[in-house]
Amino acid sequence: MELQYCINYLLTLTQHEVFQTFSGRLSQFDITPGQYGILNCLWQKEFCTPKEIVQTLRLDNSTVSGVLDRMQKRGLINRVTDPSDRRSVQVIATEMGKSLREDVLQVIADLNEQILGDFSQENRSNLISCLQQIGKIQLS
């Protein structure tokens, strides 16, 4: 098979291009695409456990732990002991982390529009559906 038709090659190059675009635009908020993913989890719910973040973002425990460490040092999140189970930790967005929500979500919407701008609405829907199918992403 020719490399330019290999799905792994195509997805890898595409993911790299999108990641670089998102990284560049999110840098104005001093966050990375991975940190955006975590913040988005926290914007959806009052708190998440690290395990829930790992499951939602499909990342390794060690990766999430390192990102949470950096985010906590920056004052974007806090880790607090679950009052109902002292062995469990909850991750919450700080006021600083919450304050980024509107602006960051607008940039994300703008980036999605920029990247998908040359696609018809039907092709956008098909692309998203195909990516969800490949990634085995179940919508809740």
What does residue 94 show for φ and ψ, rounded to 5 degrees?
-75, 175
| Predicted pLDDT at 45 | 92
What does residue 60 show for φ and ψ, rounded to 5 degrees?
-75, 150
| Predicted pLDDT at 140 | 64
| Predicted pLDDT at 22 | 97
Per-residue pLDDT of the chain (140 residues; tens, 9 = 90+): 899 999 999 999 999 999 999 999 999 999 999 999 999 999 999 899 999 999 999 999 999 999 999 999 999 999 999 788 888 899 999 999 999 999 999 999 999 999 999 999 999 999 999 999 999 998 76
Ramachandran bin of 56, using left for φ above 0, alpha for ψ from -120 to 50, beta for the remaining angles:
alpha
Nearest to 36 by CA among 108, 91, 92: 108
3-state secondary structure the chain: CCHHHCHHHHHHHHHHHHHHHHHHHHHHHCCCHHHHHHHHHHHHCCCECHHHHHHHHCCCHHHHHHHHHHHHHHCCEEEEEECCEEEEEEEEECHHHHHCHHHHHHHHHHHHHHHHCCCCHHHHHHHHHHHHHHCCCCCC
| Predicted pLDDT at 128 | 94
On whether the CB atoms of residues 68 and 50 are closer than 8 A, the answer is yes
Please state the length of the chain.
Answer: 140
| Predicted pLDDT at 43 | 97
